[in-house]
Amino acid sequence: MTKDPVENAESGGERKGDAAGKASFAFKFDPSILIDPSCIKIGSVLGEGPGAIVYEGLYQSKPVAVKIIRPPKTTEVSLDCQEKFQREVSLLAKVKHENIVKFVGACFEPSMIILTELLRGGNLQKHLWGRRPGTLDLKCSISFAIDVCRAMEYLHANGIIHRDLKPANLLLTEGLNKIKVADFGHAREVISGDMTSEAGTYRWMAPELFSKEPVPKGTKKEYDHKADVYSFSIVLWELIVNRIPFSGRTNILVAYASANQIRPELDDIPQDLVPLLESCWADDPRIRPEFMEITSHLSNYHKQLCAAEAEPPAVNVPEAEHQESNVKEQEPPKVHMIDKSEEKKKAKRRKKCRSSFFLFCCRPVAVHE
Ligand SMILES: Nc1ncnc2c1ncn2[C@@H]1O[C@H](COP(=O)(O)OP(=O)(O)O)[C@@H](O)[C@H]1O
Ligand SMILES: [Mg+2]
C-alpha cells in the first residue's frame, strides 16, 4: 500500500458549520493526488451506477475512466455524499494491487471526479449477460474468481472491507483475461464497533446485514470482513452457472430469503466446488473461510482442470481393436475400461482435495468485531 493520503494531510475530511451556520464539508486530501480538471477530456459513457456516471476520457492525453459523482439534491445528502467521496478517494489512492483498478487522481471542484485506469473489457455483469444462455468456460470462470480472491485477500490484509462485491463492480482488461476489483464507494476500513447496515446491493449482501424487523435508516449492525466472503460466493456461483442469483425475487424477497438461509441452487455446480460455496455463504460468518484459503482451494482446482485438459486422450484404440469391437457388440469396449480407471484416479484426487479443503476451512477463525 502507498502512504495514506489522508494521514499525510492534517486529518480526514470533516463536517463543519460555516459563518451563516450552514453545514458544510471540508475535504482533506494530499495535494499530490489532486488533478487539474481542465486537463480532462470526456468521451462516451462507459457505465453508470446509482451515484455516478463513468465516462471514457483522456487526462493529459492518456486514456482514463472518469467517474463523475451525481450532484446530490439536498444539503444533508450532499454532506453524506461528500463524506463518501472523501472515503472512496482516500481508500482507492492507498491500495496498489494488480487485481484492483489503478487510481490516477481526483478533484472535488467544480464536480467530485475520480480518475482511474481505463479497463476496456467493461464490467463482468455485461460480459456474463452477453454469454447467456451459455456459460463461461469453467477454467476461465475459476481464473476470474482467483483474480477477485487475490484482490480481496490484499484488501482484508490491509484492513479494508469492500462491502459491494458484485459483477457490476468487477472490470475486465482489454484481452478479457483478467479481472480487477473496482468501486470503493462502499468500502471502509475495519473499525471496532458497529457499522452501518446500508452497505452493498441486496442480491450479494450477507445475511448479517439484513434485519428481520424493520429498522430506521442508518441503523448500525455488527459485521466484519466476512460479509465480503458471502458476496464473493454469489459472484462465484454466477461465474459458473451464469444465471441471476435469486432470480424472480424482488430485492426485499432476496433479503428475506438470504436471512432465512435460502441460497442459490447447487445443481449445476461441480461437486468439488460445492463444499467451498457452502462454507463461503454459511449463515455464521465465522464458518466462512478467509480469502487466502479460498484462493488456495481455487488455484488447486484450476490446476486440476488444466491437468485434465493436458492429459493425453484416453481414446487411442488400434485399428484391429476397432474391427474386433464391431464384431463383438455386447462386449464393453476397451476404451471404456481405460476411462473408468482414469475416472477412479480423478475421483481420488477430488476427494483428497475436498478433505484438505475442509481441514483449513472448518477450523475456527478470528472475528473482527
Ligand atoms: N475504470 C473503469 N474502466 C471501465 N469502465 C468502468 C471503470 N470504472 C467504472 N466503469 C463502468 O462504470 C460502471 C459504474 O462504475 P462504479 O464505479 O461502479 O459506479 P457506482 O459507484 O455508481 O456504482 C461500472 O459498472 C463499469 O461498467
Ligand atoms: Mg458500482
Residue 14: per-residue pLDDT: 76
Residue bearing the bigger pLDDT, 212 or 282: 282
Q: Is the pLDDT of residue 333 over 70?
A: no
Residue 195: per-residue pLDDT: 64
pLDDT digits (tens, 9 = 90+) for 192-221: 556 665 567 889 999 988 766 666 666 667
Residue 346: per-residue pLDDT: 47
DSSP letter at 207 equals G
How long is the chain? 369
**Among the atoms of ligand 1, which is closest to the Cα of residue 88?**
21
Residue 317: per-residue pLDDT: 58
Q: Give the residue-averaged pLDDT of 160-174.
A: 97
Q: What percent of the chain stands above pLDDT 90?
A: 64
Q: What is the mean pLDDT of the chain?
A: 83
Confidence of residue 325 (pLDDT cuts 50, 70, 90): very low
Residue bearing the bigger pLDDT, 108 or 194: 108
- Give the torsion through C-alpha atoms of 115, 48, 264, 129, to 10 deg: -100
Confidence of residue 72 (pLDDT cuts 50, 70, 90): confident
65 lines ligand 1 (CB under 6 A): yes
Beta bridge partners of 68: 53, 113
**Among the atoms of ligand 1, which is closest to the Cα of residue 49?**
22
Q: Give the residue-averaged pLDDT of 334-352.
A: 45
Distance CA 225, CA 219 (A): 18
Confidence of residue 293 (pLDDT cuts 50, 70, 90): very high
The structural domains of the chain, with segments of one domain joined by +, span 10-117, 124-310
Residue 312: per-residue pLDDT: 76
Q: Is the pLDDT of residue 53 over 50?
A: yes
Q: Is the pLDDT of residue 60 over 90?
A: yes
> Is 194 in the active site?
no
Q: Is the dihedral of CA 165, 171, 175, 178 positive or negative?
A: negative
72 lines ligand 1 (CB under 6 A): no
Topology of domain 124-310, per CATH? Transferase(Phosphotransferase); domain 1 (1.10.510)
Q: Is the pLDDT of residue 290 over 80?
A: yes
Q: Please identify which residue in the block is written with the cell numbers 484481452.
A: 175
Q: How many CB atoms lie within 10 A of CB 77?
A: 11
pLDDT digits (tens, 9 = 90+) for 309-323: 998 776 665 554 444
Nearest CA to ligand 1 atom 7: 65
Q: Is the pLDDT of residue 335 over 60?
A: no
Which of 242, 228, 240, 168 has its CA nearest to residue 199? Answer: 228
Topology of domain 10-117, per CATH? Phosphorylase Kinase; domain 1 (3.30.200)
Mutate to test the pocket of ligand 1, among 40, 54, 113, 165 (most ligand atoms within 8 A of CB): 54
| Contact status, residue 52 vs residue 41, Cβ threshold 8 Å | no
Beta bridge partners of 64: 57, 117
pLDDT digits (tens, 9 = 90+) for 123-147: 999 999 999 999 999 999 999 999 9
Residue 240: per-residue pLDDT: 98
Residue 345: per-residue pLDDT: 52
Residue 68: per-residue pLDDT: 98
Q: Is the pLDDT of residue 357 over 60?
A: no
Nearest ligand atom owner, CA of 165: 2
Nearest CA to ligand 1 atom 17: 183
Residue 90: per-residue pLDDT: 96
C-alpha cell at 116: 482511474
Residue bearing the bigger pLDDT, 11 or 72: 72
Residue 50: per-residue pLDDT: 85
